[in-house]
Amino acid sequence: MDVSRISRRRFILTAVAASSVVAAPRSWLPGSIARADTPADPVLIRLTRLLFPHPGLRDDVYADVADILFTSYANNAATGQLLDAAGFALDEQADGDWFDADEDSQIEALRNIEGEAFFAAILAGLRGTFYYHPKVWTHLDYPGSSKEHGGYKHRGFNDINWLPEVK
């Protein structure tokens, strides 16, 4: 196809932001752009999940992360072009609509474009957003800031009990 789903949604998002209909649309889907409670775009959720596949991590967390990154990217011409390039390249790899391909084909398409600069830029942005997100931390059992709890001096910094004795 000529224009990827990602590009179409980015165009709509940008237009919406420019017309100030909504400040921060939750979805890039045509027809539902003005509704803040609609789920985030399934293509971007899919992309985020395939890049960082954590079994058991719910779609709404992927949606939160995808929204944060792609909203900021879409509203900037330079980073927006990265999204356009990724959408075009994925569709080209899938010989149609990447989103409609099966999972193995989707992953293969990603593997085929992972050497591209736009892929590296999007992956880096997504990584920084994803592994810095409190809901992801909760899933990983990582508690974040500790100074307000007095650190771990009295909270298990040396509580490991399964190691063999060292002479």
Partner 1 sequence: MAKQYALSDDSVVVVIGSGAGGGTVSNELAQKGIDVVCLEAGSRLTLADVENDPPSMDAKMGWHDKRIGAFLWVCKTVGGTTMRWSGVTPRLQEHEVRALTTYGQIDAGTTLIDWPLALGELAPYYDKAELKMGVSGTHGIPLSDENNNYKVFNAGANLAGYKQITSGRMAINPVALDGRPGCQQIGFCNAGCAIGAKWSTLYTEIPKADLTGHFELRANSMAVRINHDKTGKITGVVYQGESGELHEQKARAVCVAGNVVETTRILLNSDSALFPQGLANSSGQVGRNYMRHTFGAAIAVMPQPVNVHRGARQTGILFDEQIHDPGRGFAGGYQLQAHGFDPLTTSNIIGGWGSEHTQFLDNYTKLAGLFITGEDPPEADNRISLHPNERDANGLPVPVIEYRNHANTNAMRDHAIAASQRIYESLGAKHFWGGDAPVGCHNMGVARMSADPKDGVTNRWGQAHDVPNLFVSDGSVFSSSGAGNPTLTIVALAIRQADHIAERMSQKMLY
Going by the DSSP 8-state scheme, the letter that residue 155 receives in this structure is T
Contacting range for partner 1; rule: CB under 8 A; set: 6-14, 18-26, 98-106, 133-141: 133-141
CA distances from 87 to 69, 113, 119, 157 (A): 15, 11, 10, 45
User: Among 15, 58, 97, 132, which residue sits at the site for partner 1 (rule: CB under 8 A)?
Assistant: 132
3-state secondary structure of 133: coil
Q: Are 25 and 13 in contact (CB under 8 A)?
A: yes
Tell me the window of 14-22, 36-44, 90-98, 144-152 that interacts with partner 1 (CB under 8 A): 144-152
Q: Which one of residues 1, 34, 53, 138 is an interface residue with partner 1 (CB under 8 A)?
A: 53
Distance of alpha carbon 122 from alpha carbon 104, whole angstroms: 21
Alpha carbons 128 and 22: distance in angstroms, whole number: 26
How many residues sit close enough to partner 1 to count as binding (CB under 8 A)?
Answer: 40
Q: Which of 14, 105, 123, 135 binds partner 1 (CB under 8 A)?
A: 123
**Interface with partner 1 by CB under 8 A: which residues?**
50-55, 107, 110, 114, 123, 127-128, 130-132, 136-137, 140-147, 150-153, 155-160, 162-164, 166-167
